Amino acid sequence: MSREPALSVDDIELAAERIRSFAHHTPVLTSDGINRMAGARLYFKCENFQKTGAFKFRGACNAVLALEREVTEGGVATHSSGNFAQALSLAARIRRVPAHIVMPENATRAKRAAVQEYGGEITLCEPTLEAREEMLAEVLERTEAAFIHPYNDELVIAGQGTAALELLREVEELDTIVVPVGGGGLISGTALAVAGISEDTRVVGVEPSGADDARRSLEAGKIIPSENPRTIADGLLTSLGDMTFSVIRAFVDRIVTVDDAYIIRAMRLIWERMKIVVEPSAAVTLGAILQGTLDVMGERVGVILSGGNADLDAIPWIGQDVPNQPVS
Amino acid sequence: MSREPALSVDDIELAAERIRSFAHHTPVLTSDGINRMAGARLYFKCENFQKTGAFKFRGACNAVLALEREVTEGGVATHSSGNFAQALSLAARIRRVPAHIVMPENATRAKRAAVQEYGGEITLCEPTLEAREEMLAEVLERTEAAFIHPYNDELVIAGQGTAALELLREVEELDTIVVPVGGGGLISGTALAVAGISEDTRVVGVEPSGADDARRSLEAGKIIPSENPRTIADGLLTSLGDMTFSVIRAFVDRIVTVDDAYIIRAMRLIWERMKIVVEPSAAVTLGAILQGTLDVMGERVGVILSGGNADLDAIPWIGQDVPNQPVS
């Protein structure tokens, strides 16, 4: 029943060509101290330095730029309260078309402000799946905008794969690439890039323990959506789509999980040792290595740091709501 | 009465050569958003990515590597509770000699741990100038170590100048370079580099309003040490030395001050927009631009981000002790 995407590394190469003048070629950083702790050589692909602060811009930019001119007259639209909302807004601005963003009315003021800064037009809805879809349908009818799904979209997936493409060309002979899994767009693009140009590299996805729908879906052989997911990694609450599910099933080695305490520990370690700001969702990969749910001992490992849009007023290791830190 | 340093850009070139294999050539980052706010084009030289997390490693490394072999038998020694302590410890480890660090007994556990991680041997003393100098004399006599002053030292100054050297070679036609001022080592090295290879660039130092001994010293024409300096920028509490004072007097355009509220605002802005971690002392420069005590409207400005060793458990804009944020 799932749509089989006819995607390959060629689509990712094409996406890379298309977004080249607009997206950053982000740096790969390393840390001797973190390598010692991990017992491996980690190569961090820093998508926190990507435009709008997250890898999402790659996919949004590819999708918007690939649209036929007549399709873009009404602009583009999506539903997102997070990084894809900002990404699509900026991509639309580059194409000089409007971006309509359906957001739940409980989205933080900071998130709304970020979308507005990139020129996105926000339509608020009640924070339920039903209300969101109704509102999106209404917006699409009113504006005749083209809908761009945040992850269950071939052009979006191809765009997200360009981060891994850059990483694989810069760092040779990676044994493993580790990627956070939310809706599955990033890991799908990554897995397709790896399958096309570095077939000896395994691709491992990491989910928060409290939002492990991809792991359960793979086990069950069908999509099992998240119910009441709960994690500090707020970018990873979404469930797989049919397209990302089928790519993951075909090309991803395995999915592991990580507890919030280790996500926070990894996030703090990255800030402290690498002097860069990453959001909780970006720290799940190192978190899994620290927790030991992912064994990469002695390997060369690519780690995609997915984004840097952390809430600087709510640092998770400061204050009352902190889960207990694991003993090191 | 002051020692006239016979330093020039040649010493900085030599230092660059000497430390090349050991220190990072740090990146220069820019932010469109911050440029818009500042009304200028700012080029941030990211010494927060330098080894040990601060520019201090450049000077320490140059000084330690330049020592004659017979002098290093007893190792090296200094007094510092901050970034120079870590920097000298790592430089000594590279040279394979011991580093003796005299620290006040009220230095945080984190700071002691950082020094120990780089192999420095700590001797604690009471937190007074007198006790520190007595303890240092004792250590020097016991160990026969070579004393390396954290900033009032020609080799240290020359090493610190290598950051500006890299910046000036990477970014052309800078109108201004802005530098934090504590003991004056970084601005002295910067000013000498500028004088040697980019004489149309002006060099401006920034001090916290609560630790403005350099500004007052320049006005008075003689060194006026800080008395009870008070600022969030804990790397800038020290007073000028005779050597740094004479270089600053000869080569620095002016010293401006910045209030703690603007230091904090600038620090947060750098974290949020650039996704990098900088310490309060590194944010004084952008703080002065935001506060308007430094006017760089329309200019091309080099900004030396001096370090990234922020206390991640005490983020200054979170919690009770925050000075009021200025209205934007």
Q: What is the pLDDT of residues B123-156, one digit of tens each?
A: 999 988 899 999 999 999 999 999 999 999 999 9
- Cα dihedral A28→A34→A39→A44 (10° resolution): -20
Q: Tell me the mean pLDDT in the region B73-92.
A: 95
Structural domains counted in chain A: 2
Q: How close does chain B come to A271, measured CA to CA in Å?
A: 7
Q: Which of B278, B308, B318 sits opposite A313 (nearest CB)?
A: B318
H helical segments located in chain B? 9-19, 32-38, 56-66, 83-95, 109-117, 129-143, 154-170, 185-197, 213-220, 242-251, 260-269, 284-291
Q: Which of B48, B268, B276 sits opposite A312 (nearest CB)?
A: B268
The verdict on B47 and B91 lying in the same domain is no
Contact A272 B319 (CB under 8 A): no
List strands edge to edge, sheet with A300-305.
Answer: A28-29, A41-46, A300-305, A176-180, A202-208, A254-258
pLDDT band at B69 (very low <50, low <70, confident <90, very high): confident
Contact B312 A271 (CB under 8 A): yes
What is chain A's Cα-based Rg? Answer: 18
The verdict on A79 and A136 lying in the same domain is yes
DSSP string, B274-316: I-B---GGGGHHHHHHHHTSS--TT-EEEEEE-B----TT--T
Contact B276 A277 (CB under 8 A): yes
Most B-contacting residue of A275, A277, A322, A328 (CB-CB within 10 A), to test interface: A275
| Residue that terminates a domain, selected from A147, A178, A206 | A147
Contact B318 A317 (CB under 8 A): no
Taking alpha carbons only, the member of B105, B104, B101, B81 closest to residue B90 is B101
Q: How close does chain A come to B33, measured CA to CA in Å?
A: 10
For chain B, the first-to-last Cα distance in angstroms comes to 46
Task: State the average pLDDT for chain B.
Answer: 94
Q: How many interface pairs between A and B have CB atoms less than 8 angstroms apart?
A: 43
Taking alpha carbons only, the member of B266, B259, B280 closest to residue B323 is B259
- Which residues constitute the domain of residue B251? 9-51+154-305
The verdict on B30 and B143 lying in the same domain is no
Q: How close does chain A come to B199, measured CA to CA in Å?
A: 32
CB atoms within 10 A of CB B320: 4
Sign of CA dihedral A114, A116, A118, A122: positive
Amino acid at A152: N
| Residue that terminates a domain, selected from B103, B122, B147 | B147
Contact B275 A308 (CB under 8 A): yes
CA separation for the pair A257, A281 (Å, rounded) = 12
Contact A312 B315 (CB under 8 A): yes
The verdict on B196 and B267 lying in the same domain is yes
Render pLDDT for B8-35 as a digit per residue (tens, 0 to 9): 999 999 999 999 999 999 999 999 999 9
**Looking at beta carbons, which residues of chain A come within 8 Å of B312?**
268, 271-272, 315, 317
**Looking at beta carbons, which residues of chain A come within 8 Å of B313?**
317-318
**Looking at beta carbons, which residues of chain A come within 8 Å of B283?**
none
Distant-in-sequence contacts of B137-143, Cβ < 8 A, 24+ apart: B139/B77, B139/B100, B139/B102, B140/B77, B143/B74, B143/B75, B143/B77, B143/B98, B143/B100
Does residue A99 sit within a domain? yes
What number is the ipTM of this complex?
0.93
The verdict on A261 and A285 lying in the same domain is yes
**Looking at beta carbons, which residues of chain A come within 8 Å of B317?**
312-313
Does residue A2 sit within a domain? no
Do A221 and A232 touch, CB atoms closer than 8 A? Answer: no
The verdict on B276 and B187 lying in the same domain is yes
CA of A46: which chain B residue's CA is closest? Answer: B275
CA of A270: which chain B residue's CA is closest? Answer: B277
Q: Is B145 left (phi over 0), alpha (psi -120 to 50) or beta?
A: beta
The predicted pLDDT at position A110 comes to 85
Most A-contacting residue of B47, B116, B275, B276 (CB-CB within 10 A), to test interface: B275
Contact B317 A315 (CB under 8 A): no
Amino acid at A268: R
CA-to-CA separations, A9 to A164, A166, A174, A177, in angstroms, rounded: 11, 12, 17, 16
The predicted pLDDT at position B181 comes to 98
For chain A, the first-to-last Cα distance in angstroms comes to 46
The pLDDT tens digits along chain A (328 residues) read 445 568 999 999 999 999 999 999 999 999 999 999 999 999 999 999 999 999 999 999 999 999 998 888 899 999 998 899 999 999 999 999 999 999 999 888 888 999 999 999 999 999 888 999 999 999 999 999 999 999 999 999 999 999 999 999 999 999 999 999 999 999 999 999 999 999 999 999 999 999 999 999 999 999 999 889 999 999 999 999 999 999 999 999 999 999 999 999 999 999 999 999 999 999 999 999 999 999 999 999 999 999 999 999 999 999 744 444 444 3
The predicted pLDDT at position A6 comes to 83
The predicted pLDDT at position B81 comes to 82
The verdict on A128 and A182 lying in the same domain is no
Contact B277 A275 (CB under 8 A): yes
Does residue A225 sit within a domain? yes
pLDDT band at B322 (very low <50, low <70, confident <90, very high): very low
Whether residue B225 has pLDDT greater than 70: yes
Q: Is B96 exposed, middle or buried (0-12, 13-18, 19+ CB in 10 A)?
A: exposed
A7-45: burial string, b at 16+ Cβ within 10 Å, e else: bebebbbbbbebbeebbeebeebebeebeebbebbbbbb
Taking alpha carbons only, the member of A146, A103, A134 closest to residue A121 is A103
CA separation for the pair A18, A9 (Å, rounded) = 14
The predicted pLDDT at position B185 comes to 98
Would you call A53 an interface residue with chain B, using a CB distance cutoff of 8 Å?
Answer: yes
Residue that is written with structure tokens 């984190």 in the block: B110
Strand pairing of A121-125 and A41-46? unpaired
The verdict on A118 and A30 lying in the same domain is no
Q: Which of B272, B275, B318 sits opposite A276 (nearest CB)?
A: B275
Contact A275 B319 (CB under 8 A): no
CA separation for the pair B120, B93 (Å, rounded) = 8
Taking alpha carbons only, the member of B220, B207, B210, B213 closest to residue B294 is B207
CB atoms within 10 A of CB A112: 18
Contact B275 A318 (CB under 8 A): no
Taking alpha carbons only, the member of B100, B60, B274, B52 closest to residue B185 is B60
The predicted pLDDT at position B5 comes to 62
- Cα dihedral A62→B273→A282→B117 (10° resolution): 140
The verdict on A130 and A189 lying in the same domain is no
Whether residue B323 has pLDDT greater than 80: no
Would you call A313 an interface residue with chain B, using a CB distance cutoff of 8 Å?
Answer: yes
Which CATH number do you get for residue B70?
3.40.50.1100
The verdict on A245 and A170 lying in the same domain is yes
H helical segments located in A144-208? 154-170, 185-197
Name the percent of chain A in helix, strand, coil, to the closest 5.
Answer: 50, 15, 35
The verdict on B239 and B224 lying in the same domain is yes
DSSP string, A2-70: -------HHHHHHHHHHHTTTS----EE--HHHHHHHTSEEEEEEGGGSGGGBTHHHHHHHHHHHS-GG
Q: How close does chain B come to A272, measured CA to CA in Å?
A: 7
Contact A275 B308 (CB under 8 A): yes
Q: How close does chain B come to A150, measured CA to CA in Å?
A: 23
**Looking at beta carbons, which residues of chain B come within 8 Å of A90?**
none
Angle A185-197/A9-19 helices, nearest 10 degrees?
110
pLDDT band at B326 (very low <50, low <70, confident <90, very high): very low
In sequence order, which residues have a C-beta less than 8 Å from that of residue A57 and are 6 or more positions away? A23, A50, A51, A86, A87, A90, A91
Q: Tell me the mean pLDDT in the region B303-322.
A: 87
**Which tokens go with B23?**
């220190």
Would you call A308 an interface residue with chain B, using a CB distance cutoff of 8 Å?
Answer: yes
Does residue B255 sit within a domain? yes
Would you call B308 an interface residue with chain A, using a CB distance cutoff of 8 Å?
Answer: yes
Q: How close does chain A come to B139, measured CA to CA in Å?
A: 30
Amino acid at A271: W
Does residue B326 sit within a domain? no
CA separation for the pair A53, A278 (Å, rounded) = 9
The verdict on A254 and A115 lying in the same domain is no
In sequence order, which residues have a C-beta less than 8 Å from that of residue B3 and are 6 or more positions away? B242, B243, B246
Q: Which helix (H) or strand (E) holds B178?
A: strand B176-180
**Which tokens go with B186?**
């970084």
Q: Tell me the mean pLDDT in the region B193-212.
A: 97
Does residue A165 sit within a domain? yes
Taking alpha carbons only, the member of A269, A283, A286 closest to residue A33 is A269
Interface of A with B in 15-34 (CB under 8 A): 27
Does residue A1 sit within a domain? no
**Looking at beta carbons, which residues of chain A come within 8 Å of B318?**
313, 315, 318-319
Does residue B178 sit within a domain? yes
Interface of B with A in 276-295 (CB under 8 A): 276-278
